[in-house]
């Protein structure tokens, strides 16, 4: 009787999982196999593909001088945006978690608002703000007596400029941090106050350890998303100047859909997928050293 019940439960579970399994098969697994196959060919999308083996991979590491610049730009963008977003979001969440702030609900909505604005629209607005002659930032610099800066045309400032824009749009991280802060037991904080501790003691010994799983979640999701950054390079800089913002996804898009070199683009996509997977595993393995779980 128990075996029949277990068999029915298993069958029901597989039936309920069928849509997810079909979606994974046709939307994830088979496309990955297709990318692997295309990466072994020379295909423009207009003519039958020619099998060339591992030639695309050899070309990436030998003759494609865009690849190295793209890797450096992608890592700079992902690490810079993730770290600044985490610090900015956590700081804002700490301030919004204070009970004595007037209009706290309004401030929460305002800080979250940039996240719900379409990123392409935000990019256009920020491009106006970065405009060399009439942009807001150069206007403020001129009022302070400074010289105008080519924000998106100077390779020294192009990457920090797009990182600043993406940090401004990290309202989702603020909401997640705020939810985590509100789940920190108040009794622990009161115990520190009874022992004569100040804000730093409460943050160092209670808030940060209790928030470490939330920090880990935000860090992991942010680094994966930012590694796949595309719109800032596409809408603001087109990968320039001097390939300083040539993000990997934009390079793949340019090779495939602008130069009709789908074989090379597929090889780049597969290498990029493996890189993100390895980095994700690395982050997971190192998180055990600094992540604290209350039940452990």
Among 183, 189, 214, 217, smallest CA distance to 201 is for: 189
Boundaries of domain holding 187: 80-211
What string of DSSP letters covers 66-116?
A: HHHHHHHHHHHHHHHHHHHHHHHHHHHHHHHT-TT-TTHHHHHHHHHHHHH
52, part of any domain: no
The pair of structure tokens assigned to 102 is: 């007037």
Residue 187 placed within a domain: yes
Asked, for residue 73, whether it belongs to a domain, the answer is no
Beta bridge partners of 51: 41
Domain assignment present for residue 62? The answer is no
Tokens of 95: 């301030």
* Confidence tier at 103 by pLDDT (50, 70, 90): confident
Q: What is the pLDDT of residues 228-253, one digit of tens each?
A: 999 999 999 999 899 999 999 999 99
Q: Is residue 157 part of a domain?
A: yes
pTM over 0.85? The answer is yes
Q: Is residue 31 part of a domain?
A: no
CA distances (Å), origin 162, targets 10, 167, 219, 222: 49, 9, 19, 15
Using DSSP's 3-state secondary structure scheme, residue 239 falls into coil
Indicate the number of domains in the chain. Answer: 1
Mean of the per-residue pLDDT values for the chain?
90
Give the domain CATH number at 190: 1.10.3720.10
Contacts of 42 (CB under 8 A, 6+ apart): 49, 50, 52, 55, 56, 263
Read off the pLDDT of residues 198-215 as tens digits, 9 standing for 90 and up. Answer: 888 888 888 888 899 999
Q: How far apart are CA 288 and CA 291, in angstroms?
A: 5
224 within domain boundaries: no
Q: Is residue 126 part of a domain?
A: yes
């Amino acid at each position: 009787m128990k075996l029949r019940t277990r068999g029915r439960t298993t069958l029901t579970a597989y039936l309920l999982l069928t849509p997810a399994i079909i979606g994974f098969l046709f939307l994830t697994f088979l496309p990955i196999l297709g990318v692997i196959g295309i990466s072994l060919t020379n295909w423009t999308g207009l003519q039958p593909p020619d099998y060339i083996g591992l030639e695309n991979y050899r070309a990436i590491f030998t003759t494609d001088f865009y690849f190295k610049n793209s890797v450096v730009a992608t890592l700079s963008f992902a690490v810079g945006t993730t770290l600044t977003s985490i610090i900015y979001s956590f700081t804002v969440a700490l301030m919004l978690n204070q009970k004595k702030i007037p209009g706290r609900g309004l401030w929460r909505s305002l800080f979250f608002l940039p996240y719900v604005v379409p990123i392409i629209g935000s990019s256009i607005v920020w491009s106006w703000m970065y405009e060399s002659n009439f942009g807001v930032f150069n206007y403020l610099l001129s009022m302070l007596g400074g010289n105008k800066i080519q924000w998106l045309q100077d390779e020294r400032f192009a990457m920090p400029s797009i990182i600043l824009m993406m940090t401004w749009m990290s309202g989702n991280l603020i909401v997640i941090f705020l939810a985590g802060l509100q789940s920190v037991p108040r009794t622990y904080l009161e115990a520190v106050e009874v022992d004569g501790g100040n804000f730093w003691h409460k943050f160092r010994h209670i808030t940060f350890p209790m928030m470490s799983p939330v920090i880990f979640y935000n860090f992991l999701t942010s680094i994966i998303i930012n590694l796949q950054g595309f719109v800032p390079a596409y809408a603001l800089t087109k990968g320039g100047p001097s390939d300083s913002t040539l993000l990997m996804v934009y390079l793949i898009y340019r090779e495939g859909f602008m130069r009709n070199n789908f074989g090379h683009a597929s090889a780049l996509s597969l290498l990029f997928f493996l890189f993100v997977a390895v980095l994700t595993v690395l982050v997971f393995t190192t998180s055990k050293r600094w992540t604290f779980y209350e039940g452990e």
